[in-house]
Structures are given as C-alpha cells and as structure tokens.
Amino acid sequence: VVQKDCVEWLGDVERRLPSVVFRVRDPGGNDIADVELRVDTASEAQLVGGDALVMDPGRRSFHFSRAGFEQQSIEVVVREGEQRRIVDVVLRPLEESAAKPAVKHPPRLDGPRDEGGGLPTLAWVLGGVGAVALGSYAYFGLQAKSERDDLDACKPTCIEADVDSARTKWIVSNVSFGVAVLAVGAAVWISLDQPRPQGSGGVRAGVAPAPGGGVGLFAGRF
C-alpha cells in the first residue's frame, strides 16, 4: 500500500512539474548547436539539446550564449503542469550586428536664431511683455493718483473701501513697473548675447507693440 501511494505521489509530482524545450535558431531559421544556457543566476552552464528541461514553475530567466553570436536573455513564465513547452530563441551573428549602421541622431538645435542679425524671437516676446507691463503701470498709476487726490479731499472721513481700492492700484502699478524693468532688461540682454554675422552693424534696434503706442529695443556690442 505504501509503495502504491508513493508511486501515485511521484506520478502526481511529475504531472505538476512543467518542462520547456528550447529551439535556438539564427535569423535565417537554421538550428544552432552547442548553445550554452544559464538559468536565472546560475553560474554553471548547460548545453541546449532537443530534450525537455524540467524546472519549478514561476518566472524564470534564461541566458543563451555561443561563440560568434550575440548573447540573448529572455524571461518566461513557466506554468505548473505545462509540459514540453516550446520556446523559440533567435541568436544573431556578431558580424551581422557589426554591419548594422549606427543610428544617426539629428543635430541638436539650441533654438531658433535669426541669421540675418535681427533680434531673436524671445527678445521680441519679452519686449512685448515689458510693453504691456509699462501700459499697466501707467494706467493703474494714474488711477491710483486720481483716487488719492479724491481721498485727500475727504480726509478724515474717507470710506475704507475707497482707501483699499487706491492702495491696491498703487501696488499693481508698482508690480507692473518691476515686471516691465525685468522683461525689457532680459530682452536687451538676450539681444546682446545674440551672435551676429561678421560685418553686421554694432547697434540693432526694434519696436514692440504696446497699448497706445510701442516700446523701442536697442542692442549693441561695445
């Protein structure tokens, strides 16, 4: 009875253990012999033949190598009870890899440059921002001054909401002035940093639109 139980148990174990058959070929579909196989992190290699390799189920890593061919590594999920699963592996000859043309990367572009010696696009954008900020500075500054004059006339019985409105307009006006100075300064710096063809003039000028007019940009090298 014990012997019969052992035989049945061994048979059940054999049915549950999966096995894999590797079919190693070159890109032309020809079989490759004498291929060494390492499973997972094993240091010892075994030759790949036509027999099935029995192993524990789970995610396994297989590493193939042979003289004259690129090494190839694959991962396979080995399922319990899956018998004689065929796994195809392609090894590429080393000379084929060496013959492949190198990948050419397009030249790196640092950004659009105006080869004609004009102002770069970013300088125009910053100049426009500075112009809008100057317009905001002037508008809110005039509004704040007008409201402050009205507050001088109603002291000390001015409404708190009117005081807050005038104060807010002064803050917006001052912030707009700071933005304008920074934007125009950055535009001038970028213009000075712009490379120019030899023989071009030493001073460049441009105009950016602004509310009710425009703002001029001048750049030069000294």
Of 12 and 174, the one with more pLDDT: 174
CA 4 to chain CA mean position, Å? 65
Dihedral sign for Cα atoms in the order 124, 127, 128, 129:
positive
Identity of residue 55: M
Rounded to an integer, the average pLDDT of 108-127 is 62
Q: What does the alpha-carbon distance between residue 194 and residue 220 come to, in Å, rounded to a whole number?
A: 10
Give the pLDDT confidence score for residue 211 in this predicted structure: 47
- For the sheet with 36-39, list strands across it: 46-47, 36-39, 58-65, 72-78
User: What pLDDT, on a 0 to 100 scale, did the predictor assign at position 71?
Assistant: 92
The pLDDT, as a whole number, for residue 2 is 47
Backbone angles phi, psi at 216, to 5 degrees: -95, 145
**pLDDT band, very low/low/confident/very high, at 145 (cuts 50, 70, 90):** confident
> What does the pLDDT average to over 121-135?
81
Per-residue model confidence as pLDDT tens digits over 38-87? 999 888 888 988 888 888 889 999 999 999 999 999 999 989 888 899 99
